[in-house]
């Protein structure tokens, strides 16, 4: 019977070497088996196996019969997803600034990352004296407005994306709320994530209509009570649609 620890170590080492191969080829433009084996300090057969696996996935390709390899077109979709994440902040910044200025509260853009919502951009109203800096903060999916938007989109594609432990409300209640979020096109969080903090969020879509981010407005409950949240919801939804339009998404009608 094999050693599972040794197997995991070997697997991690292979991944590390594969990444190094991609970095070497990216830096040199092209590279052969022998020079990659030397750079990795491995036998040529090991380097060839790595290249063969990467080639199967379209991440590298051979240049004719020269025995050289270059990066493959299989990297384009992967890079495109990263570029799209960067683009949503570029396209969303003027919309966020305008919304923050008009409403006077903090506006964030969050993206999904390994089961969490990550805030990647933030705008603040000009009258803000003190406010929490959400930029870069990782927050749960099930009890934040942005997280609910992102989670609702994920569950619509894959029901198994529903968290196994979604907080005190339970899976059934969360599933029902996420279905409502998908239908109405926005999500609220009324003192769910933090006591005294309220928020509303709307989806941001890419050119294909897939939800890639969430736009939220958040603030202290004394400034953003439920009544105020309800009042600004149409503005948040409209801002999310505007960023989506800038990302290339056009709604019918």
Residue where one domain finishes, among candidates 38, 73, 108: 73
With respect to residue 11, please indicate whether it lies within any of the assigned structural domains: yes
Residue 75 confidence (pLDDT): 79
Judge if pTM exceeds 0.75. no
98 and 119 together in one domain: yes
- Pair 94, 155 in one domain: yes
Q: pLDDT band at residue 224, thresholds of 50, 70 and 90? A: very high
Residue at 69 is within a domain: yes
Q: Are 92 and 31 members of one domain?
A: no
Q: What is the pLDDT of residues 98-111, one digit of tens each?
A: 999 999 999 999 99
pLDDT in tens, 72-128: 888 766 665 665 667 898 899 999 999 999 999 999 999 998 888 988 889 987 655
CA atoms of 133 and 175, how far apart (whole Å) = 30
Q: Are 87 and 160 part of one and the same domain? A: yes
Residues 127 and 213 in one domain: yes
Per-residue confidence (pLDDT) for residue 84, from 0 to 100: 63
Domain with 38 in it: what CATH number?
1.10.10.10
Residues of the domain holding 21: 4-73
What is the C-alpha end-to-end distance of the chain, expressed in Å? Answer: 62
Same-domain status, 153 and 217: yes
pLDDT band at 137; cut points 50, 70, 90: confident
Q: Do 95 and 102 form a contact (C-beta atoms < 8 A)? A: no
Domain assignment of residue 253, yes or no:
no
Q: Are residues 98 and 200 in the same domain?
A: yes
Which residue among 73, 94, 113 closes a domain?
73
67 with 122, same domain? no
Residue 87: per-residue pLDDT = 86
Evaluate if residue 242 carries a pLDDT over 70. yes
Asked, for residue 251, whether it belongs to a domain, the answer is no
Q: Are residues 141 and 202 in the same domain?
A: yes
Cα 87 to the center of its chain, rounded Å? 12
Residue by residue, what is the 3-state secondary structure of 147-207? HHHHHHHHHHHCHHHCCCCCCCCCHHHHHHHHHHHHHHCCEEEECCCCCCEEEEEEEEECC
Q: Tell whether the model's pLDDT for residue 165 goes beyond 50.
A: yes
Number of structural domains the chain divides into: 2
Same domain membership, residue 84 and residue 67 = no
Which residue, of 48, 73, 98, is where some domain finishes? 73
Q: Within this chain, do residues 165 and 227 fall inside the same structural domain, yes or no?
A: yes
CATH number of the domain that 194 lies in?
3.30.450.40
What digits encode the pLDDT tens for the residues 19-46?
899 999 988 889 999 999 999 999 999 9
Domain assignment of residue 252, yes or no: no
**Domain check: are 223 and 110 in the same one?**
yes
């Amino acid at each position: 019977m094999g050693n599972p620890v040794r197997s995991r170590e070997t697997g991690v080492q292979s991944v590390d070497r594969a990444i190094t191969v991609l970095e070497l080829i990216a830096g040199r433009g092209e590279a052969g088996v022998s020079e990659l084996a030397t750079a990795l300090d491995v036998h040529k057969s090991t380097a060839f196996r790595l290249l063969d696996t990467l080639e199967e996935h379209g991440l590298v390709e051979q240049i004719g019969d020269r025995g050289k390899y270059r990066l493959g077109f299989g990297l384009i979709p992967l890079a495109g997803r990263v570029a799209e994440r960067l683009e949503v902040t570029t396209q969303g910044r003027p919309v966020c600034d305008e919304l923050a200025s008009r409403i006077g509260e903090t506006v964030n853009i969050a993206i999904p990352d390994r089961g969490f919502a990550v805030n990647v951009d933030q705008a603040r109203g000009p009258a803000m004296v003190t406010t929490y800096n959400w930029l870069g903060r990782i927050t749960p999916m099930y009890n934040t407005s942005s997280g609910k938007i992102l989670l609702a989109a994920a569950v619509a594609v894959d029901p198994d994306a529903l968290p196994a432990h979604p907080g005190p409300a339970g899976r059934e209640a969360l599933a029902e709320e996420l279905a409502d979020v998908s239908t109405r096109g926005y999500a609220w969080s009324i003192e769910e994530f933090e006591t005294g903090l309220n928020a509303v969020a709307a989806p941001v879509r890419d050119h294909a209509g897939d939800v890639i981010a969430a736009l939220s407005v958040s603030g202290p409950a004394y400034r953003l009570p439920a009544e105020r949240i309800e009042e600004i919801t149409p503005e948040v939804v409209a801002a999310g649609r505007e960023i989506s339009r800038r990302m290339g998404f056009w709604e019918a009608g």
